[in-house]
């Protein structure tokens, strides 16, 4: 079937040590699910690249078995046929079955972090899915309508494992402060919304940094690879609203989405 574009963009990601994190000023305040500060949690580290800007393009059949280390990511891009009724990206990502074969027989081996795309002129749906590997084993993505394997991989233990176990990870929220810098949203006092939280690096409330009617980029980190999921949102009174529907965020972690909606006051 011609639904697979046949290219995977592998994002080679590593973990730097705590000293380097302090040097670049990324001292994270971590939100646990459901939204409490996770004491002693280690935030995802900054990614480093072995190939220029950190993107390696692999060409060939998407169904070919690849190999990835734990805590790495890949962008799986496909074109899917749904007939005359093309679904939204949120609906389409649920038509992609996740299949896991963990080496220890427990849990999942990867997660889809986000998805985005659009219909093509010939009636197909172009969709990209950002996948993060979590533990050794194997995994695949299968189109439910046809049974076609869109992507499959063998996941091996890496040389740079995540600094904290996935069971103890927390949600990290970063905000563009409008002056070309990123600040960390401090969840240590369990604020009711992002606007009541403090900017960890500056000691002022996010509400003071985010004027009414202004659009800002917000990044959410909740993955083994430390990859951010970025959205655009605007402040409207005492809440925020998304200004774009895409990407679809954390489709494999609905509890995280619930926490994000509460913090961002997305009704």
Is residue 7 scored above 90 in pLDDT?
Answer: no
Closest residue by Cα to residue 14 from 51, 66, 62: 51
Q: Which residue has the higher pLDDT, 140 or 162?
A: 140
Instruction: Supply the pLDDT for residue 159.
Output: 77
pLDDT 10s digits, 181-203: 999 999 888 899 999 999 999 98
User: Which tens digits make up the pLDDT trace of 65-102?
Assistant: 889 999 999 999 999 999 989 999 999 999 999 999 99
Residue 3's pLDDT band, with cuts at 50, 70 and 90, is: very low
> What is the residue whose two structure tokens read 């059949």?
61
What CATH topology corresponds to 7-26+44-156?
Immunoglobulin-like (2.60.40)
Cβ–Cβ < 8 Å for 31, 255: no
Q: Kindly write down the DSSP assignment for every residue of 10-76, as one continuous string.
A: EE------HHHHHHTT----EE-TTSSB-TT--PPPPP--SSTTTEEEEES-TTSEEEEETT-EEEE
Supply the pTM of this predicted model. 0.79
Q: Produce one character per residue of 133-146: b if its CB has 16 or more CB atoms within 10 Å, e if not.
A: bbbbbbbbbbbeee
- Find out whether 108 and 92 touch, Cβ atoms under 8 Å: no
Q: How far apart are the first and last CA of the chain?
A: 40
Domain ranges for the chain, please list them: 7-26+44-156, 166-264
pLDDT at 251: 98
9-52 tens-digit pLDDT: 333 333 323 222 322 233 334 555 543 323 222 233 222 322 22
């Amino acid at each position: 079937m011609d639904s697979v574009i046949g290219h995977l963009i592998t994002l080679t990601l590593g973990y730097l040590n705590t000293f380097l994190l302090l040097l670049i000023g990324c001292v994270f305040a971590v939100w646990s699910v459901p939204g409490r500060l996770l004491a002693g949690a280690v935030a995802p580290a900054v990614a480093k690249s072995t190939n220029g800007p950190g993107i390696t393009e692999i060409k060939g059949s998407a169904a070919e078995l690849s190999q990835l280390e734990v805590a790495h990511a890949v962008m799986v891009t496909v074109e899917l046929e749904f007939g005359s009724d093309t679904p939204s990206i949120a609906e389409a990502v649920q038509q992609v079955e996740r299949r896991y074969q963990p080496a220890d027989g427990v849990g999942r081996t990867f997660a889809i972090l986000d998805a985005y795309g659009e219909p093509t002129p010939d009636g197909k749906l172009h969709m990209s899915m950002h996948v993060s590997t979590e533990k050794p084993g194997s995994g695949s993505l299968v189109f439910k309508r046809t049974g076609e394997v869109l992507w499959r991989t063998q996941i091996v233990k890496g040389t740079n494992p995540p600094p904290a176990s996935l069971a103890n990870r927390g949600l990290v929220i970063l905000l563009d402060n409008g002056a070309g810098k990123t600040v960390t949203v401090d969840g240590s006092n369990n604020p009711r919304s992002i606007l009541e939280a403090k900017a960890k690096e500056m000691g002022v409330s996010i509400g003071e940094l985010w004027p009414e009617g202004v659009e800002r980029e917000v990044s959410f980190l909740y993955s083994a690879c430390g990859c951010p999921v970025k959205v655009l949102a605007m402040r409207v009174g005492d809440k925020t609203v998304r200004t774009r529907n895409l990407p679809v965020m954390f489709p494999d972690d609905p509890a995280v989405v619930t926490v994000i909606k509460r913090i961002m006051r997305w009704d």
